[in-house]
């Protein structure tokens, strides 16, 4: 099974960097897991697909509504915002790109579950996370820290 | 995106038929979604992988603990039995093979969400489900009825 | 802490019996737990309140929208149908009155978690459940079988 | 229905202040909602019960295991850390006392759902939250800001 890295965040202004993160992860053979919707989630998925990678989207609703078109596989969770837990738990590491309060919840859950978390600057400042200045640095750290949890 | 069919159930005595279901789904190009653990879930995944297919396991815990070795992708839900909702919601159709009370919950949720449900006999008798006598018949019906929900 | 009994089900035609169940539970000192919405859930809560009892509603949405007016306390779960798990898990025993597929999921979950389940006839026929012909019989059985799980 | 205020947090060193928060909420007639376990959750519940108030605990597991003894009602969610969403969603306002990463997830979810959030200092510094220096100030603000969401 390939390494899985979750990319979380939001904000249209962060899409370019999120796309680079997705592309770099795919080039390194990692599967990209996101919440499956727009902005950062869509950009990371688009970047990964452009590089021939694999993408999984864990959607909040009861149907595929809102899914971006760069997903290979969808998980339709039906549990709303609580799916944020599944998004980060499914990553062997987590990269946060931008983001508002939902991203904060994801960082909190990721740290609770002891997943390595990289925040691509600028972004939430939370103790226990690693800071990265560039997509390259974020991906490098995430893949070095990633390890399956069992 | 490939059609996704969820295979639910349990019981070691149903593994052979579950493996056939997984194999037939993979041969027809469908991705197999399960709860990611043993018995029917493992057998369906093994059958799909043996035929070159793709498998996704939606695990109940907070790690990969208990995951069977025939999964291409894991979703670590962290929500225990409530992940049964995600398992059936993620299928464009659902096939039940054997199973106990957890499977009954999955059938109930699948019908609530208007997913087509095939019960491979013998199995739970629930109005609103389709009955199939063989793995071939179950897969045939599931793929004919499957359609993405948005 | 008082004994908690979950009342699940749906169907306007079952409201009168659900109200009797709620009333009888309250008269015996049990707290009534439901999914917090209409029909059977509302009727059971109304019955309990009419007898001076205590009611808890575990809602599926992210607000109080749809809550019936006979709830003392609401839990706003935000997890949609997955809250069915919490509804039955929170009962020291479960009584099903009428109901469709969501109720079937609840019966499946209740039996998975080894909660005693009484089906007030007519209703879903599931092995492992107790059958009751009247609200009195259902409540009598539920309270005799109820015990906190820890 | 009484106003419901959720008290979140952790850390034995914060118990005294959490107990004061619970007591003050109860004196003002608010129901105290927590995650039902120890430390801050237990202390807030104990404070509320000592003042004759009402307490609800939303537990992560499938049984009452770990529940503190100052709960009037328990919701057994069965969804692990994802129950953090329900804890804050069920509050008309949220007060954070101490806390680690789980509390951060709760603050993130509370702000996502537009619940008023008060952080009793010292505590997580998150934009969009109100800061309070004392339990009195925290309770005052929470009750002034609390309003049911529908």
| Mutation choice for C interface testing from B77, B108, B109, B126 by most C CBs within 10 A | B108
Find the closest chain D residue to B78 by CA distance: D80
Instruction: Please give the average per-residue pLDDT across D10-23, as a whole number.
Output: 98
User: From CA C150, how far away is CA B147, in angstroms rounded?
Assistant: 42
Output phi, psi for B36, to 5 deg: 85, -5
Grouping H, G, I as helix, E, B as strand and the rest as coil, residue D29 is: coil
Distances (CA, A) of A27 to A16, A45, A97, A131, C23: 17, 13, 19, 22, 64
What pLDDT score was predicted for residue B148?
Answer: 80
Cα–Cα distance for residue pair D150/D148, rounded to 1 Å: 6
Q: Quote the pLDDT of residue A150.
A: 78
Q: What does the alpha-carbon distance between residue A41 and residue B104 come to, in Å, rounded to a whole number?
A: 34
| β C31-34/A73-76 pair status | unpaired
Predicted local confidence at residue A39, as pLDDT? 97
| 3-state secondary structure at position C118 | strand
Take residue D84 and report the two structure tokens written for it: 């953090």
Strands A4-10, A31-34: parallel, antiparallel or unpaired by DSSP?
Answer: parallel
User: In chain A, which residue's Cα lies nearest the Cα of D101?
Assistant: A108
D104 Cα to chain A: minimum distance (Å): 5
Query: Which pLDDT does position B147 carry in this prediction?
Result: 85
Q: Is the pLDDT of residue D147 over 90?
A: no
Angular region, A36: left φ>0, alpha ψ -120 to 50, beta rest? left
**Average pLDDT for D65-70:** 98
Residue D51 confidence class, pLDDT cut points 50, 70, 90: very high
ipTM computed for the complex: 0.97
Cβ-in-10-Å burial (0-12, 13-18, 19+) of C98 comes to: buried
Three-state DSSP state, D47: helix
User: Looking at per-residue confidence, does A55 or D150 come out higher?
Assistant: A55
| CA A48 – CA D109 distance, rounded (Å) | 28
Cα–Cα–Cα angle for C59, A87, C75, nearest 5°? 15
Q: Which of C1, C58, C77 shows the shortest C-beta gap to D71?
A: C1
- The arithmetic mean of pLDDT across residues D31-53, rounded, is 98
- In angstroms, what CA-CA distances link C103 with B112, B144, C66, C72? 10, 28, 18, 23
For residue D93, give both structure tokens.
């306002």
Q: What is the pLDDT of residue C150?
A: 78
Q: What is the mean pLDDT of residues B24-30?
A: 98
Number of Cβ within a 10 Å radius of residue B52: 9
* pLDDT in the model for residue A83: 98
For chain B, the residues whose C-beta falls within 8 A of a C-beta of chain D are 62, 78-82
A149 — pLDDT class (breaks 50, 70, 90): confident
CB contact under 8 A, D73 and C150: no
The gap between the terminal CA atoms of chain B, to the nearest Å, is 14
Helix, strand or coil, per DSSP, at residue A76: strand
Interface contact D105-A108, CB threshold 8 A: yes
Q: What is the pLDDT along chain C (150 residues), one digit of tens a residue?
A: 899 999 999 999 999 999 999 999 999 999 999 999 999 999 999 999 999 999 999 999 999 999 999 999 999 999 999 999 999 999 999 999 999 999 999 999 999 999 999 999 999 999 999 999 999 999 999 999 998 877
Residue found by looking up tokens 């041969």 in the block: B27
Give residues with Cβ within 8 angstroms of D71, minimum separation 6. Answer: C1, D36, D45, D55, D56, D57
CA distance A53 to chain C (A): 31
Q: What is the pLDDT of residues B92-148, one digit of tens each?
A: 999 999 999 999 999 999 999 999 999 999 999 999 999 999 999 999 999 999 988
Q: How far apart are CA A75 and CA A62, in angstroms?
A: 10
Nearest CA in chain A to B112: A62
Rounded to the nearest angstrom, the minimum Cα separation between C27 and chain B is 31
Task: Determine whether the interchain pair C86/D67 forms a contact, defined as Cβ–Cβ distance below 8 Å.
Answer: no
Q: Model confidence at D105, in pLDDT bands (50, 70, 90)?
A: very high
Helix axes A15-27, A40-50, angle to 10 degrees: 40
pLDDT at A79 over 90: yes
Phi-psi category of B20—alpha, beta or left, where left has phi over 0 and alpha has psi -120 to 50?
alpha
Cβ atoms of D93 and D36 within 8 Å: the answer is: no
Asked whether the predicted pLDDT for residue D79 surpasses 90, the reply is: yes
């Amino acid at each position: 099974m390939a390494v899985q890295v979750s990319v979380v965040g939001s904000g249209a202004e962060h899409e370019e960097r999120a796309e680079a993160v997705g592309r770099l992860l795919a080039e390194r053979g990692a599967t990209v897991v996101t919440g499956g919707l727009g902005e950062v989630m869509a950009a990371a998925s688009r970047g990964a697909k452009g590089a021939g990678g694999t993408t999984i989207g864990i959607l909040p609703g009861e149907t595929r509504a809102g899914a971006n078109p760069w997903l290979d596989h969808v998980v339709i969770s039906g549990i709303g915002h609580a799916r944020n837990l599944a998004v980060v738990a499914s990553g062997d590491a987590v990269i946060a790109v931008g983001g508002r309060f939902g991203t904060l919840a994801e960082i909190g859950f990721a740290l609770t579950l002891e997943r390595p978390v990289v925040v691509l600057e600028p972004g939430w400042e939370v103790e226990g996370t690693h800071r990265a200045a560039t997509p390259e640095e974020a991906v490098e750290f995430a893949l070095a820290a990633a390890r399956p949890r069992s």
